[in-house]
Amino acid sequence: DTAVSQTPKYLVTQMGNDKSIKCEQNLGHDTMYWYKQDSKKFLKIMFSYNNKELIINETVPNRFSPKSPDKAHLNLHINSLELGDSAVYFCASSQMPSYEQYFGPGTRLTVT
């Protein structure tokens, strides 16, 4: 059973397009996160939702918008994609914000 799943695993698209990455967790956790890992392997948090409420919103361009339809899902929508958005995006979840986080397998986004 996959605890935290992401779709798609790979996403190749052109500059200026709009795309979404979906994340689902079946762990019954209340908190979900999005992280970005750039080409230098640097991992940085982007957003976090707790019980569908945004609790972390790092300095991320407005083109990135998270959406949490329910506690088990946290999707990431990106408008007007740029070359610099190319990265691996990881979704994670935890029972509560202070508890250990479980990460998904990642979505590799390539913008050409």
Residues that bind other proteins (CB under 8 A): 4, 31, 33, 35, 41-45, 48, 50, 55-56, 90, 92, 94, 96-106
Residue 112 C-beta: closest distance to other proteins, Å: 21
Q: Measured from the CB atom, is 97 or 110 closer to other proteins?
A: 97
Residue 54 C-beta: closest distance to other proteins, Å: 11
DSSP line for the chain: --SEEEE-SEEEE-TT--EEEEEEE-S--SEEEEEEE-TT--EEEEEEEETTEEEEE-S--TTEEEEEEETTEEEEEE-S--GGG-EEEEEEEESSTTSPPEE---EEEEE-
Q: Measured from the CB atom, is 5 or 13 closer to other proteins?
A: 5
Residue 20 C-beta: closest distance to other proteins, Å: 19
